[in-house]
Homo-oligomer: A and B are copies of this chain.
Amino acid sequence: MTTKISGARGRPRTFDVDRAIETAMGLFHARGYDAVGVAELSEALGIKPPSFYAAFGNKAGLFERVLERYATGDANVFLHARAQGGSTAEVLERTLMRAAQLYPTRNGAAGCLVIDGTRNSADPDARALASAAQRAGRDAVRDFIAIEAPDRAEEIADFVVITLFGMSAAARNGVGEAALRSFAEAAGRTLRREFGLT
């Protein structure tokens, strides 16, 4: 159980860092950053706290890795919606519809980890990490909108992110996919009607 591919010296790790990040992601997503302690994380990862700190530095260090993984995976609804192409309105509508599919409770986790993972957290480091990830996501949406509507990009981006905030909070409160879909569809129509997007 200790065969390691890399030729690194020293005693090899007995756990998979990538799997550990996935496990931690599930816990943080389900219950929020503060509510998941290092003791519980270590237990879930099958390691002892010193191994945890040797691998990730501290709790916020693991959270940073988790957010990085989260933001580059399927959970980044805008990134994947844009990759499918189409008009500005089509991409934004698809973004909202992907959120409606993704946000409802699955394996105990609901909503968006970046949006709600550190809400009410008492840890400034964790909050800053989530804030940075959120700003990056918002900037990507705004820059994309600016291609078609540079003058109203900020305004439209606000509308999209507030819509996602509502859907994430609702999902965390147990609202189901059908209601989220209705909300997303209504918001999509508003993007065309109110902001004149095509």
Given contacts A34-B120, A166-B169, A169-B119, contact A186 B182 (CB under 8 A): no
Quick check: B121 and A169 within 8 Å, CB to CB?
A: no
Closest chain-B Cβ to A160's Cβ sits at a distance in Å of 10
The closest CB in chain B to the CB of A122 belongs to: B35
Which B residues lie within 8 Å of A35 (CB)?
34, 120-122
Which of B31, B155, B169 contacts A168, CB < 8 Å? B169
Q: How many copies does the complex hold?
A: 2
Quick check: A155 and B182 within 8 Å, CB to CB?
A: yes
> How far is B170's CA from A116's CA once the two chains are assembled, in angstroms?
11
Closest chain-B Cβ to A122's Cβ sits at a distance in Å of 4
Quick check: A165 and B159 within 8 Å, CB to CB?
A: no
List CB contacts (< 8 Å) of A6-44 with chain B.
31-35
> How far is B54's CA from A138's CA once the two chains are assembled, in angstroms?
48
Quick check: A162 and B166 within 8 Å, CB to CB?
A: yes
Which B residues lie within 8 Å of A119 (CB)?
32, 116, 119-120, 169, 172
- 23 A-B contacts (beta carbon < 8 Å): A31-B120, A32-B119, A32-B120, A34-B35, A34-B120, A116-B119, A116-B169, A118-B120, A119-B169, A134-B173, A155-B179, A155-B182, A158-B170, A162-B166, A162-B169, A163-B166, A164-B166, A165-B166, A165-B169, A165-B173, A166-B166, A189-B194, A193-B193
